[in-house]
Amino acid sequence: MKNHFTPRFISSAAASFVLGLVATTPATAAVSDEDFNALKAMVQQLQQAHDQDQKQIQTLQQQLGETQTLATNAVEKADAVAVAQATPPRNALHNFTMVGDAEIQYAKTYGNGTHNGFELADFAPIFLYRANDSILFEAGFDIMLQNNSASGTNYYKGVAGNSYTHDSGSSTSVSLSFAQMDYLVNDYVTFVGGYMLLPLGIYAERNAGWLNKIPDDPLGVEFLPGAGAGAQLRGAFPIGESGQMLTYSVYAANGPSSVDGTGNAYTLDGNGNRISNLDLGGNVGIQNDGNNGNLHSAPSGGGRIGWFMPWGGAGAHKDLELGVSGQTGSWDDAGSYMWSALVLDGALHYGPNFEVKGEYIDTMYNTADAGTIRPWGAWVQAGYKLAGLDWDMPIISDIELVGRVDKENNGLNGGLGAETRRYTMGYIYYITNTLLFEGDYEFIHSCMPGSSPLTANQLIFQLSYGF
Amino acid sequence: MVGRTGGTLSLSKPKFTINSMKPNSKHSRPLIHAALAALALAALGGLVTIAQADDSKPAAPKKLTGAELYAVNCNRCHPERYPTEFNSAQWQTIMIHMRVRANLPAKQAKEILKYMKEESGN
């Protein structure tokens, strides 16, 4: 085979290579120094920008990390708060609440020689301690400063001859109204134990100063024990979804007792005056000698059944409540004589501005020397809020007119005992929803066989506050 | 007022009793027929009333909310207390107190408590 790489071919290729080099050299040399420097400056600027971006990215990454840490901490704190709320601390003050009422009274009594004056200052706190969602301890006290002059319902307290001296002075008392434990056993049964308000009628459990629309108690309720030491089961059964319900209370409590232990109608006090032997308060607690304080033979039993029916819808404020209650048990030490009570109660609201309520109280107790004594009483009370007139006058609209008719007979002296009739009219001015200024005038007439009739009308003003 | 004087109740006997319709009376049979006819008419009237009631059944009462139950129950005894007067924990304590004192059904008490806690703002 013939060799094609001849010397002539090699020289031609070398010449072409040299020409090529010569031809390309002028193209490289065409970039000027200015362009080069500009390009270099641009590269340097880009480099600086890149460095700044890197730094900014690092800063942002750092801030992102801190934000994530904060978010994580916040979530942990929120979780901790949720756990804490789910299991509230057993702080003694956390579940402690105080409610109650306070009153100031000014009275002018006509017809029995007394002068007008501030006759009462009352502070009645109720301490509530919730141990858990089912157990509540509650205790109510009455701290009162009261003039010892004749006032209120102190008419013929059982016997004639009671009188008040001019300088009888004032007294301060601290009394225990109730002290009880409430245990919500289930939706329908609540156990109550201790010194309880007794559900004899509706007044005993709903008579706080700012709830009662007239400053003093209705006649007749003084024949009932307002509270008693014992145990109680109570609850309510709803009927349908309209708010209607049946309520019940059944209890055993130390009932009324005998002052001297006998079943006699009367006994003598420390001054030798004849007084009623019936002690409605009963004997409570342990005596100084360590014996059981309940001297009479056995606890009394009692209860109340009530029916509550609203109608016309929630905004109508129309409802009716009816109840029957009673208590019976022996009151002397030997257990030979019984004390019993029957109370019928009713309350009607017809619209948001009108209400009427009342009770009929019938009690009786057998005695060794005076047969059966039957103290009884009845009261009816009505109120009308002038807001119902739609007069668009704020002061007028904050007034409620009230009236009451009540009567009682203590049943002593063979059923012809002291009888009192009273007619009361007045007003309530609602300064706020819990601060009330009340004024009432009472026409009072009492009579008792062998004594002159007593007329002692009374004007009462009361400032009461519920808290 | 109760119609009672001197501590004794007086209940007067009704003037007409079932015993006053003597079986041997001449008019006993017509009286019985008339009484049966009256009973039949009363029963018919009752059936008509029931039938009419069935034709126009009233709407079932709606379930009351906590706010409505509060208005129905609490204002019976005292002026309205505003939810903001107490905090949630205090309302929880107070509602047990009021459930016992006013003998409120458990469901209603829970609905009222839920409303008071929600509106208390704390």
Q: How many structural domains does chain B have? A: 2
Q: Does B58 touch chain A (CB under 8 A)?
A: no
Tens digits of residue pLDDT in A234-277: 999 999 888 999 999 999 998 898 888 888 888 888 788 888 88
Q: According to the model, what pLDDT value does residue A412 have?
A: 78
Tell me what the mean pLDDT of segment B17-23 comes to: 34
- The residue type found at A424 is T
Q: Tell me which chain B residue has its CA closest to the CA of residue A234.
A: B103
For chain B, how big is the Rg over CA atoms in Å?
28
Q: Is the pLDDT of residue A151 over 60?
A: no
Q: According to the model, what pLDDT value does residue A438 have?
A: 97
Say yes or no: B77 and B102 in one domain: yes
Q: According to the model, what pLDDT value does residue A193 have?
A: 97
In a domain, B50, yes or no: yes
Can you tell me the distance from the alpha carbon of B13 to that of B17, in angstroms, rounded to the nearest whole number?
A: 9
Which range is least confidently modeled, A48-62, A71-85, A183-197, B80-94?
A71-85
In which band, very low, low, confident or very high, does the pLDDT at A403 lie, cut at 50, 70 and 90? very high
Q: According to the model, what pLDDT value does residue A213 have?
A: 93
Q: According to the model, what pLDDT value does residue A162 have?
A: 46
Are A241 and B4 an interchain contact pair (Cβ–Cβ within 8 Å)?
A: no
Which range is least confidently modeled, A20-34, A329-343, A439-453?
A20-34
Do residues A442 and A424 make contact, with C-beta atoms less than 8 angstroms apart? yes
In a domain, B9, yes or no: no
In a domain, B49, yes or no: yes
Q: DSSP state, B78?
A: S
Are B71 and A314 an interchain contact pair (Cβ–Cβ within 8 Å)?
A: yes
Say yes or no: B77 and B51 in one domain: no
Q: Is the pLDDT of residue A128 over 70?
A: yes
Token code pair at residue B117: 């806690």
Q: According to the model, what pLDDT value does residue B9 have?
A: 31
Say yes or no: B81 and B103 in one domain: yes
Q: Tell me which chain A residue has its CA closest to the CA of residue B111.
A: A243
- Say which CATH superfamily domain A94-466 falls into: Porin (2.40.160.10)
Interface test with B, best of A85, A95, A96, A97 (most B CBs within 10 A): A97
Largest CA distance in chain B: 83
Q: Is the pLDDT of residue A158 over 90?
A: no
Q: Is the pLDDT of residue B84 over 90?
A: yes
Tens digits of residue pLDDT in A50-104: 999 999 999 999 999 999 989 988 888 888 777 766 665 555 556 899 999 999 9
Tell me what the mean pLDDT of segment B81-108 comes to: 94
Say yes or no: B80 and B38 in one domain: no
Say yes or no: B48 and B84 in one domain: no
Contacts 24+ apart (CB under 8 A), A323-328: A323/A201, A323/A202, A323/A247, A325/A199, A325/A200, A325/A201, A325/A249, A326/A200, A326/A302, A327/A198, A327/A200, A327/A225, A327/A253, A327/A255, A327/A300, A327/A301, A327/A302, A327/A303, A328/A255, A328/A300, A328/A301, A328/A302
In a domain, B61, yes or no: no
Tens digits of residue pLDDT in A13-30: 555 554 454 444 444 457
Highest mean pLDDT out of A376-380, B17-21, B47-51, B57-61: A376-380
A88 vs A163, more confident:
A88
Mean pLDDT score of chain A, rounded to an integer? 85
Q: Is the pLDDT of residue B53 over 60?
A: no
Domain limits, chain A:
94-466
Token code pair at residue A369: 């020397």
Contacts of A242 in chain B (CB under 8 A): 61, 64
Say yes or no: B100 and B76 in one domain: yes
Domain that holds residue B93: 66-120
Are A182 and B100 an interchain contact pair (Cβ–Cβ within 8 Å)?
A: yes
In a domain, B111, yes or no: yes
Token code pair at residue B88: 């949630």
Looking at the DSSP assignment, which residues form a beta bridge with residue A326? A303, A342
In a domain, B98, yes or no: yes
Do residues A454 and A445 make contact, with C-beta atoms less than 8 angstroms apart? yes
| Window A:12-71, CB contacts with B under 8 Å | none
Tell me what the mean pLDDT of segment A443-447 comes to: 90
* Nearest-CA distance A148 → chain B (Å): 30
| Window A:273-332, CB contacts with B under 8 Å | 306, 310, 314-315, 317, 319, 321
Say yes or no: B70 and B39 in one domain: no
Q: According to the model, what pLDDT value does residue A41 have?
A: 92
In a domain, B16, yes or no: no
Residue A303: other Cβ atoms inside 10 A: 19
Are B96 and A210 an interchain contact pair (Cβ–Cβ within 8 Å)?
A: no
Q: According to the model, what pLDDT value does residue A120 have?
A: 82
In which band, very low, low, confident or very high, does the pLDDT at A292 lie, cut at 50, 70 and 90? low
Mean pLDDT score of chain B, rounded to an integer? 67
In a domain, B10, yes or no: no
Q: Is the pLDDT of residue B14 over 50?
A: no
Q: Is the pLDDT of residue A221 over 50?
A: yes
Can you tell me the distance from the alpha carbon of A351 to that of A312, in angstroms, rounded to the nearest whole number?
A: 9
Which range is least confidently modeled, A81-85, A332-336, B94-98?
A81-85
Nearest CB to A243; choose among B8, B64, B67: B64
Can you tell me the distance from the alpha carbon of A329 to that of A335, in angstroms, rounded to the nearest whole number?
A: 8
Q: Does B90 touch chain A (CB under 8 A)?
A: yes
Nearest CB to A236; choose among B8, B61, B104: B104
Are A380 and B73 an interchain contact pair (Cβ–Cβ within 8 Å)?
A: no
Can you tell me the distance from the alpha carbon of A207 to that of A439, in angstroms, rounded to the nearest whole number?
A: 17
Are B81 and A190 an interchain contact pair (Cβ–Cβ within 8 Å)?
A: no
Tell me what the mean pLDDT of segment B96-119 comes to: 96
Position of tokens 């004032």?
A: A170
Tell me what the mean pLDDT of segment B76-91 comes to: 91
Which range is least confidently modeled, A114-123, A249-258, A289-298, A310-319?
A289-298
Say yes or no: B70 and B94 in one domain: yes
